[in-house]
Structure 1
Amino acid sequence: MTISVGDKLPDTTLIKPTENGPEKVQSSDFFAGRKVALFSVPGAFTPTCSAKHLPSFEDHAAELKARGVDEIACTAVNDPFVMGAWKDTTGAKEVTMLSDGNGDFARELGLTMDGSGFGLGQRGQRFSMLVEDGVVKQLNVEQPGDYSVSSAEHMLEQM
């Protein structure tokens, strides 16, 4: 079943790349007591993710934070080393990367996709959500191949 507005996020382990190496993060702890703008990409270094999705949140970070967002986070079914390298390569400073290497978080959300036709295997769908204290307040899931409703610009219009 797909997560909906008003639902509490599942409690899974994500991995945050840090300067000291990968750090396990429980999703229940990460989202507790604060407002997080979360977006998911099918894969780090993929064209739309790198050229549009990540930059939209990086470029609009100040506006999101001015509207009460405590943290902006990106998740993908990639390992933490790839997520860290993607952050470094793009120069992203405002977005926290959260690796969902095994796809557990995406599966628990009910937001997986089959990218086997592109050699990607099972991945998380492209989406964005606004989460307050672990509860989904906004949810914007893209149709396959689209990029519009999961952008930071769209999220800002909803706030």
Structure 2
Amino acid sequence: MISTNSKLPEAILTARINGKMETLTTTQLFEDKKVVLFAVPGAFTPTCSEAHLPGFVALADQIKAKGIDSIICLSVNDAFVMDAWGKQHNADGILMLADGDASFTCAIGMNIDTGSFGGDRSVRYSMFVDDGVVKIVNKEEPGTFEVSDAQTMLDAL
């Protein structure tokens, strides 16, 4: 599992931006930037939709005021799903990224096999990344939502 002071691996992620499919590398997303990344087990799932994403939407301006260049929400879903979920929650200030094949999630050791529910998914976590290097990691235990929320991240920045 990725830890503090680790460099993020090179990976390709996807997003719908201005109605177009975009492929983005981790270098493009994190190099020379301060980024808050949070990951959820699945778009449109209860805790993710009722608390995790809405918390970051509500605190996005305060988080960015701490010198953060971008806030990224990541899930092992496709870019169309992430785009629709972001629109439903007015997540205009958050980049909704898809890790469709879970390659990035697996590369950083944040995957969990959910079996027939959805296969490889992400555990719930948040992290602060400075120039591609992880500075803070808040990983949840399965079935919890206590340390990866927006307020905890805001307080740590």
TM bucket normalised to smaller: over 0.9
SS of corresponding position for 1:28 = helix
Deviation at 1:116, TM superposition (A): 2.0
2:71 matched to which residue of 1? 72
1:154 aligns with 2:145: no
> For the residues of structure 2 that align with 1:94 and 1:148, how far apart are their CA atoms?
23
Q: Which amino acid aligns with 1:31?
A: F
> For the residues of structure 1 that align with 2:114 and 2:54, how far apart are their CA atoms?
23
SS of corresponding position for 2:64 = helix
Q: Which amino acid aligns with 1:128?
A: S
2:98 matched to which residue of 1? 99
1:38 aligns with 2:37: yes
TM-score, length of structure 2 as denominator length:
0.97
Number of residues paired by the alignment? 157
Deviation at 1:21, TM superposition (A): 2.0
Structure 1 unpaired stretches of 5+: none
> For the residues of structure 2 that align with 1:6 and 1:86, how far apart are their CA atoms?
31
* Contact map agreement 2:57 2:90 (CA 8 A) in 1: no
4+ runs deviating over 2 angstroms: none
1:122 aligns with 2:120: yes
TM-score, length of structure 1 as denominator length:
0.96
Identical amino acids, percent of aligned pairs: 44
Deviation at 1:89, TM superposition (A): 1.5
Q: Which amino acid aligns with 2:127?
A: M
Structure 2 unpaired stretches of 5+: none
Query: What do residues 108-141 of structure 1 show as CA deviations (whole Å, max 9, x unaligned)?
Result: 1011012226x12110110000001000010000
Moved more, 38-47 or 20-29: 20-29
Q: Which amino acid aligns with 1:136?
A: V
Deviation at 1:20, TM superposition (A): 3.2
> For the residues of structure 1 that align with 2:92 and 2:23, how far apart are their CA atoms?
20
Query: What do residues 20-61 of structure 1 show as CA deviations (whole Å, max 9, x unaligned)?
Result: 321000011110101000000000000000000001111111
Deviation at 1:99, TM superposition (A): 0.4
1:62 aligns with 2:61: yes
SS of corresponding position for 2:48 = helix
SS of corresponding position for 2:37 = strand
1:20 matched to which residue of 2? 19
